[in-house]
Structure 1
Amino acid sequence: MEDPVISKIKSRFDKEGNPAKIPLMSGKHFFEARSETDGVYVDNLKKEPFLPWEIFPEAVNCIKENGGKVKKGNATNSRLGDPNLGLDTLEGHIASKIYGCRIGDSVFKRITPVASILAWAEICENTRGQINLLTKEEEEELQASESENEISPALSAEESKEGSEINSPDFQPDSKQLKLKSLEAKLEEKIQKIRELDEQVAGKEEKIGRLKKELEARTEKIGILEKHLSDSKETVSSLEEKLAGRNTELEEREKLLLKKDSELQALQEKFTDKSEEAKTLESRLMEKEEKTESLTEELKRKIEDIKTLTEKLSAREREIEKLMGNISIKDKDLKTLAGEVIAKAGEMRKIEEKLTGKEREINTMQAMLVTAEEKVKMFEKQLSAYEGEEKLAVQLREKEEFIRQLKGTLASKEEAFSRVSEENRKYRMQQKLASEGLRQIEEQKASRKWWRRL
């Protein structure tokens, strides 16, 4: 069974036409609504023009739950649950029940077409700020006015039938009495209905008087609207001219669309090629993922190795700190040794100076020896010539003694020179060892700095 609210709106569309022009609350402006199987499409909601049929019975239930009248609610610059858009308002109720909005969500404004359609279908009264449900009396009055129009032609048709039956030649008296009784009973029922309708008509006449006044006001408004219509016709003519220009633009756009379609087909072909490439890339990606998994396992192992290495490094750093303490002690010792070496170097310079002096003396002595040997040879020659002379023999002895003395001094000088050269060699060895020790200390210091940088 279809909901009575939905059936009433659909019947109104059947009477007024589909699509129908529906007035807003002021009655000056209209919007167009189109009834479909799934709901109503309106032209005053640009983003979401569709209203499902479920909205209207839900709106009526909300009005009934709130005692026959409810606030419309305002969704502009408000969220569900705000004072302007509570769940007790019609806009908030529809948003939560039909569209599943929650408290704090923003709501799309739909109350204007919903309230206008309910008022247009004579289900509710659309007033400023709230919407009221029409009472049963008002609904019955509306239904009675509609039923009057339906009953009056039916009565005239029945009376014409009765007259034709009475005037017929085949009419018999017994059947006539039975028919008369049935007609009298029907007449009494019709008279009672007519009396009830008269009572309803008496109440309706008062309302008709009110409606006439409203009609006069509406006719004035219609005159104003006709003026607006004349103005709107001019605007429509200008719009038609614009539409003609737009049609030419549309034709050009259609040509462009055809070009775009051909480009799209080429792009689709490229897309198929790319999809094949993507499949190959996916297979490669799978391989890469497997490699990455193996690499991650290796990384985990490396991390464990690094942890062990860091532990070893910490132990090494402790050892290095100890070595640094030892190195500082060694530095102090080296400084003292360097002082001693500098002192020894001064002494060695003095010894070298003495050695150079001794070498000079030795050289002079050697030169003297050479001259003495030459003289000895001369004397020997003279001796060979003068063997008989004793003076020459004495001189030769003296000269030989002098040569022996010179040889003894030379031997002592050579021993002293060998001792000095040995000391010099030892000193140079000490200098080499000291320089080696300093180099090793510098290397240890450099390595210590490197470890600290890590």
Structure 2
Amino acid sequence: MEDPVISKIKSQFDKKGNPSKIPLMSGKKFFEARSEMDGVYVDNLKKEPFLPWEIFTEAVNCIKENGGKVKKGNATNSRLGDPNLGLDTLEGYIASKVYGCKIGDPVLKRVTPVTSILAWAEICKNTRGQIGLLSEEKEVHTSESKKETSQAFTVEEKKEGSTVDSVYIHPDNKPTEMRKLEAELEEKIQKIKELNQQTAGREKEIGRMKTELGAHEKLLLEKNTELQALQEKFTEKSEEAKCLESKIIEKEDEIESVKEELREKVENIKTLKEELSAKEKEIEGLEESISMKDKDLKTLAEEVITRAGEMKKIEEKLTLKEKKINTMETMLTTAEENVKKLEKQLSAFEEEEKLAVQLREKEEFIKQLKGTLASKEEAFSRVSEENRKYKMQQKLASEGLRQIEEKKASKKWWKRL
């Protein structure tokens, strides 16, 4: 016959669907669970997503053995047997019973999906730091535990009164000191029995033993009062521990979310580093090209400087040519004035042959002057052309210098990057 816990979980999958979304304790987040023949597969356990059916049966057994309610335990940065991961916790119990872990072994955190599925199947109530059986399961467990207790413990002789018998009902729940006292009382009672069997007539000794027993009973009552006070303190501390455990669980959830964000940030940093390395390679290539351009600019600057020297020489030659042209123009003007004077003189002396000869000579001289003037005009036009070419070269040189300055400025901008 199939275990009732497994049957209930399977029937819940049949009702809600397979796979199903299982809510966590907060009810805001979910994980997916899928029922199979050999167990349940969940998506919130990355390394080992498989939970065998045995784990749910043993979890319910652990809760029953601890009175219907048990601490969950915390496997984060802990080993089996640590204060927060003892065998009396659900996580530690499952690790020991199902997975065969020993004291000191690391434990994989499985309690979250196990408790969530048990709560989802309406078998348990999942609370902060602990899990308990629902009312139906508690009643079944109480009746079974009562039967076991009645079979295990039989009331001994009521010779020394009902107080002594009440001490032995739940010895496992008492501290070590109480157990020692109970052991002493049991030895005393045993001695009394032996004395009753051996010497029935030794009433005085029995009375003395009764007085000793009474003193022990008084001491036991005092210890019981101390025990009650300690139990009250223990309940207060357990409440504080529950609050702390709930805070720890909340912090663990926050830490998990922060870890996820950190992983995303690390991935983003890796991509940014790759992009940065690519940009650095591009910048190196640009710097190489800029260095080549600088070399070209240097050669161009040298050429511009040499051309500027040549242009200065040409300007000097042009100034000399202009001076010569100016002197020739002044000579031409003076010659024209002399021609005019001679023409006047010739007009006055038309009849004389000398004047005619002189006139012819003057005309010849004027022709020569005109030829000289024409050659001077041609030289002037050549000088003007050279001046125009020089100005054009000077313009080109200034343009080249401007481009050099712009490239140098762009190089400085790249270096700032």
TM-score range, shorter chain: 0.3 to 0.5
Q: Which has the higher helix share?
A: 1
TM-score normalized with structure 2 length: 0.37
Query: Which structure: larger Rg?
Result: 1
